[in-house]
Amino acid sequence: MTSLFSRLGQDGTAGAAIALGGAVGFLLVRDYPVGSLSDFGPGFMPWVATIGMMILGGIMLTRALAAPVRFSFTMVVGRPVILVPLGMASFALLLAPLGLALASALAVLITSFASLESSLKERLAAAGALAALITLVFGYGLGMSVPLWPLGLRP
């Protein structure tokens, strides 16, 4: 007898988790005023997001149940488990003192070491390119009120 997780595989289990997260989220925001399509209320986006999560999770779950081949879970250990959260935490802690450009570059660089498939040159290029893109889109394009540069270089 196989367990439910091994029958669903990773995609089915992820779909079930996403649908469940959407359902729980919907229960939390169901009383927010939604408004109309011409005048959104504060609950419009949470409703759309949670309903979308339930639909997409349901699609993933249905596809996994219909698939003839089931995959087993593999345990993720080591570098990714440590370096991905470390990169996220470094971004959160370094954003105020270093600014968006450097904090995002360092976060990308730290998380890139979770994989052994890239060279240092590729990691640095990815960190620079993504930091530039993030700074252009969020800092200049959307005009978010986050510091873009380190403390000594701010206007």
Three-state DSSP at 40 gives: strand
pLDDT at 1: 43
Separation between Cα atoms, residue 69 and residue 3, nearest integer Å: 15
Three-state DSSP at 27 gives: helix
Q: Higher confidence at residue 97 or residue 3?
A: 97
pLDDT at 88: 94
pLDDT at 6: 64
Interval 68-120: pLDDT, tens: 755 555 655 678 889 999 999 999 999 999 999 999 999 999 999 988 888 99
Q: What is the pTM of this model?
A: 0.56
User: What is the Cβ-side half-sphere exposure of residue 68, based on CA atoms within 13 angstroms?
Assistant: 0
Tell me the torsion sign for CA atoms 75, 79, 83, 84: negative
Looking at residue 114, what DSSP letter applies?
Answer: T
Tokens for 86, please give them.
């470390």
Three-state DSSP at 17 gives: helix
Count of CB atoms within 10 A of residue 64's CB?
Answer: 20
Separation between Cα atoms, residue 73 and residue 142, nearest integer Å: 40
Looking at residue 113, what DSSP letter applies?
Answer: T
Residue labelled with tokens 């959160």: 92
Residue labelled with tokens 């660089």: 109
